[in-house]
Structure 1
Amino acid sequence: MSTRIARIFQPGNPQTRIFLPDFWMKIVPTPKVGRERVPPNVVKFEISPQMSRHDVRQYLEKIYKIPVYDVRIMNKMGDITWSTPLDKNFRRALWKDEDKKFAFVFMPKHIKFEYPDMFEIDKIEEEIEYMKKQTSKVVDKGSMLYN
């Protein structure tokens, strides 16, 4: 499972241990409304094209200790770029993006997944405004003392 080349077996050598998998998984945010929305106990991942549903299940259960109820896989074909409409008619593609593979991981009903807010811009802006108000109050009180 790792790209590392295994050592040649010699009697008495220790077992080769591999700690980092070759696979990768990325959480994909899903819309709250519309056709592509998912229930709160479902998480959508973009996964490595070589992964199967069993690999996804074991990856999440063994590494992250997440209880997985079911895994469903969806392959999405990459976008095709056509140079002219005539190329589309004769199927001469200029460029094709790589295909993507998505996994929908279903967890038990009592587990709810909420997409993490990585860039808390609104909260940071609120804190900056609060600090500006506080400093202006301190400056106002200081100017009142010297008058």
Structure 2
Amino acid sequence: MQLFLMRHGEASYQAHSDRERTLTDTGRYHTSLMSNWLAKTVLEFDLVLVSPYLRAQQSWQEVSKHFPEPRKWLVLDELVPAGRPSTAAELTLAYAEQFKADKVLVIAHMPLLGYMVSELVAGIEPPLFATSGIALIDKHSECATLVWQHAPHTIS
């Protein structure tokens, strides 16, 4: 299974709550740039899991323009910035198994994503994710490897 973990695009701080922050123009652009880059190697996603926060939802809207409709996509309340990494990782794997998904995209936040990498890949420190950044974890049975991690400034 290939797990693509993506941080939402850059978001404005002008909102009533953290949950309601919207993407900036730069956030939309970088998310589109990363999606276009990713679409050169990934044809489609079987499963997409997205945070309920507005900036993550908007990031998914940008990403979805570059890929066919996934077989299944879900909004998970556990994919919020203060979510429990072990729970988020376990749910991601459980949903992937339930839907027999080989290519899974998760769109969420820091610090959750960094800690999810540590939960999924033994012995790795939690990496930082730039906004719109993506990491690929290759997971086969109990073995998982961080294959790569890219951000908008590393692909151009």
| Same structural fold, with TM-score higher than 0.5 when normalized by the shorter chain | no
Greater radius of gyration (CA): 1
Give the TM-score category using the shorter length.
under 0.3
Larger % of strand: which? 2
* Bigger relative contact order (CA 8 A; separation at least 6): 2
Larger % of helix: which? 2
